Amino acid sequence: MAIDTDTARKVAHLARIRVEEERLPALAQEFDAILGFIEQLNEVDVEGVEPMTSVTPMRLKRRQDVVTDGNQQAKVLLNAPDAREGFFAVPKVVE
C-alpha cells in the first residue's frame, strides 16, 4: 500500500518530530520502501500462533512493596535543560 504525504504528516506528528512540508514526499517514499519490505510477513500462516510476549519463558520477579529510593531531587534535576526552584520548567501548558 502506498503511503501518501498526509499519512507521513500524521505519523510525524504522532511521533512528535517536526518534518518540514517539503520533506514529506521523500519521507512517504522511505516509509513505502520499508513497509513494502515488511509486507512479506503476510505470506506467513500465523493461524493459531500466539504472539510472543517474552522471549525466554520467565515470570517477572516480585519484590516487597517498599520504598527503595528517593530524596534525590538534585540528581534528578541535574541534567534538565531548564530547572527552576526544584522543578522541571517547560513552556506554558495551560492558558
Q: Site residues (CB under 8 A) for other proteins?
A: 7-8, 11-19, 27, 30-31, 33-35, 37-44, 46, 49-56, 58, 60-61, 63, 72, 75-76, 78-82, 88, 90-93
Cell of 70: 528517593
Give CA–CA dist 42/56, Å, rounded.
Answer: 25
Give CA–CA dist 26/3, Å, rounded.
Answer: 11
- CB of 64: closest distance to other proteins in angstroms? 11
- CB of 7: closest distance to other proteins in angstroms? 8
